[in-house]
Amino acid sequence: MTGPARERAGANGAKQRLVVGVSGSSAPQLAVKFLELARELGTVETHLVMSQGARLSIELELRKDPAEVEKLADVVHDPRDLGAAVSSGSFPTLGMVVVPCSMRTLAAIATGNSDNLVARAADVTLKERRPLVLVARETPLNYIHIENMKRVTLAGGTILPPVLSFYHQPRTVDDLLGQVCGKVLDQFGIANDAYRRWTG
């Protein structure tokens, strides 16, 4: 996508805003599921920033046009537009999630290397002391990955890897995606029933 941010018709400006970054990691299915859940809830206005790597992953792994994923968001920002609204701390948001988060994007955030809008928006989220959740998707991890996760955590971010859980008795891949995305929504205090919770 090029040019200024595009807003989906009917987006409610009164909703609280949530920035959703999507990087070039494997598993763009997580981003799609998260955007679908957020849209179904109808309680937040999603501001989507997809990196060029994310667009490639969507084409290769989902066999979809990235424009189809963009339609799930309320507002779409060009990843090259460092002057976008989400690049400023004066633009109020609930925070930001990067889902999935590649190790390259993690490194950029950990070192303050804001050369694209995903990294810049994350940097702003940290400096404004808003929740930043990185759904870091890589395995196994090397020492550099772990150090970068440590740096982001010490700066106030949350590392939330898409770890498989089975206490909710998942039966499909969608159930597994829902559980991860539900836990992300929990980090922002967004009520959801994306997965069956443990009650003892």
CA distance 30 to 35: 9
Distance CA 122, CA 107 (A): 12
Check whether 25 is labelled as a binding-site residue: yes
Consult the annotation and say whether 90 binds a ligand. no
Residue 102 in marked binding region: yes
**CA–CA separation, 171 vs 63, rounded Å?**
23
Q: Residue 18: what residue type?
A: L
Tell whether 171 is in a known binding site. Answer: no
Annotated binding residue at 104? yes
Would the annotation count 15 as a binding residue? no
Alpha-carbon distance 107 to 104, whole Å? 5
The CA distance from 81 to 64, in Å, is 24
Does 51 carry a binding-site annotation? yes
Place of tokens 């559980």: 179
State the Cα–Cα distance between residues 17 and 132, nearest whole angstrom.
13
User: Known binder of ligand: residue 87?
Assistant: no
Any binding-site annotation on 125? no
Q: Is 26 annotated as a binding residue?
A: yes
Is 183 marked within a binding site?
yes
Binding positions are: 24-26, 51, 102-105, 137, 167, 183
Binding positions for dimethylallyl phosphate are: 167, 183
Binding positions for FMN are: 24-26, 51, 102-105, 137
